[in-house]
Amino acid sequence: TILVIGASGQIGTVLVQHLQNQYGLNRVIASDLRMPQAFSGIFESLDATKADELAALVRRYRVTQIYHLAAILSANGEANPIRTWEINMQTALNVLEVARTQNVSKVFIPSSIAVFGPSAPAFDTPQQTQLDPTTVYGISKVAAENWMHYYHVKYGLDVRSLRYPGVISYQSQPGGGTTDYAVAIYHQAVQGQDFTCFLSENTRLPMIYMDDAIRATLELMEAESSRIRVRTAYNLAGLSFTPAEITAAIQKFFPNFRTQYAPDFRQQIADSWPKTIDDQAARNDWEWAPAFDLSRMTEEMIHHLSEYYQPSLTQA
Ligand code: VAH
């Protein structure tokens, strides 16, 4: 069975659905502090900071794979740095240690572009470069990458990871990141409202559409172990855009839509991150290739959100 920790989160809710479709409802154990809305399948409430609770769950369901998608993200994480560090580190270490002691065959713990800081090249940020993160979330992801590498080298644990860019989805809301504006902007546009963006209009950030993020995760996890040459975390690129560019893409569907700009503390976080990512290593090692560009993603987002907000119109 496959255990998903953080099943109620932005990525977790979508990943659970894909894993259920692929492996069957009874092969996927969704876990989180609280159940996702309108959930169907096997759900177990779990506080992953408690190693014994996690170990008991792994034993009870004879878990063979763990996806750890629970963390306090970059923006929310700055409100309480020590708590963010403790939660992000304790849960990651619990997953690695329980996986090792209970012979879990594969583990996925995501990393993030938040591991990069001002010292990394801003464009085509390479797989190998200095990591000087400016957020506690980023610090915790650099540490998690090093722990994953350690457990692989020292214990042979098959743990794999991706440095997710900002993830854009219609099925779920992000939870306290710096890239969240790129999801909220679509919700506002489809509801006929203007949008106030918490980043300045030319802030370019690496992003990825949820379908690509999920496919990358599953393709990475299904690749032959011998092909996985990066045991910290692979760079992953989907697309890259600025608030001005995503606004223009939306205006093709909603000509009267407008974005105002009111940068807040998240501007400094965004300014320390890459603008575009070099994911050649993922392309070489396990044939990664994104499928969504800004116009295709915008079309999909507006189509699905229109169905959600204006069912009558789309059925007409
Ligand atoms: C965040 N969406 O903003 C997350 C991600 C790209 C960064 O880890 O914190």
With helix as H, strand as E and coil as C, how does 256-314 read? Answer: CCCEEECCCCHHHHHHCCCCCECCHHHHHHHCCCCCCCHHHHHHHHHHHHHHHHCHHHH
What value does the mean pLDDT take over residues 120-133?
Answer: 98
Q: Is 74 in the pocket of ligand 1 (CB under 6 A)?
A: yes
Tens of pLDDT, residue by residue over 221-235, are: 999 999 999 999 999
Do residues 42 and 10 touch, judged by C-beta distance below 8 A? no
Quickly state the pLDDT bin for 311 (edges 50, 70, 90).
confident
What value does the mean pLDDT take over residues 73-98?
Answer: 98
The number of angstroms, rounded, from the C-alpha of 22 to the middle of its chain's C-alpha atoms is: 20
Q: Is 113 in the pocket of ligand 1 (CB under 6 A)?
A: yes
Position of tokens 């496959």?
2
Determine the distance separating the centroid of ligand 1 and the alpha carbon of 112, expressed in angstroms: 7
Q: Which atom of ligand 1 is nearest to the CA of 205?
A: 6
**Nearest Cα to Cα of residue 245 among 173, 309, 181, 171:** 181
Widest pairwise Cα distance in the chain: 60
What value does the mean pLDDT take over residues 30-55?
Answer: 96
Selecting among 61, 67, 137, 234, the annotated active-site residue is 137
> What are φ and ψ of residue 250, in 5° steps?
-70, -35
Average pLDDT, rounded, for the chain: 97
Which of the 8 DSSP states describes residue 9? Answer: S
Beta bridge partners of 68: 5
Q: What is the 3-state secondary structure (H, E, C) of 52-69?
A: HHHHHHHHHCCCCEEEEC
User: Distance between CA 271 and CA 165 in Å, rounded?
Assistant: 14
Q: Is 166 in the pocket of ligand 1 (CB under 6 A)?
A: yes
Q: Is 133 in the pocket of ligand 1 (CB under 6 A)?
A: no
| Residue 137 among the catalytic residues | yes
Separation in Å, CA 269 to CA 108, 118, 266:
25, 10, 5
What value does the mean pLDDT take over residues 285-303?
Answer: 98
36 pLDDT exceeds 90? no
pLDDT at 315: 54
Q: Which atom of ligand 1 is nearest to the CA of 110?
A: 8
Tens of pLDDT, residue by residue over 251-269, are: 999 999 999 999 999 999 9
Position of tokens 């890259």?
240
pLDDT at 312: 62
pLDDT at 37: 87
Q: Is 17 in the pocket of ligand 1 (CB under 6 A)?
A: no
Determine the distance separating the centroid of ligand 1 and the alpha carbon of 132, expressed in angstroms: 16
Determine the distance separating the centroid of ligand 1 and the alpha carbon of 313, expressed in angstroms: 33
ipTM: 0.95
Quickly state the pLDDT bin for 314 (edges 50, 70, 90).
low
Q: What percent of the chain has pLDDT over 90?
A: 97
Tens of pLDDT, residue by residue over 146-183, are: 999 999 999 999 999 999 999 999 999 999 999 999 99
Position of tokens 């569907």?
253
Determine the distance separating the centroid of ligand 1 and the alpha carbon of 28, expressed in angstroms: 25
Quickly state the pLDDT bin for 103 (edges 50, 70, 90).
very high
For 160-172, give one letter per residue: b (16+ CB within 10 A) or e.
Answer: bbbbbbbbbbbeb
The backbone region for 8, taken as left when phi is positive above 0, alpha when psi lies in -120 to 50, beta otherwise, is alpha
Determine the distance separating the centroid of ligand 1 and the alpha carbon of 151, expressed in angstroms: 25
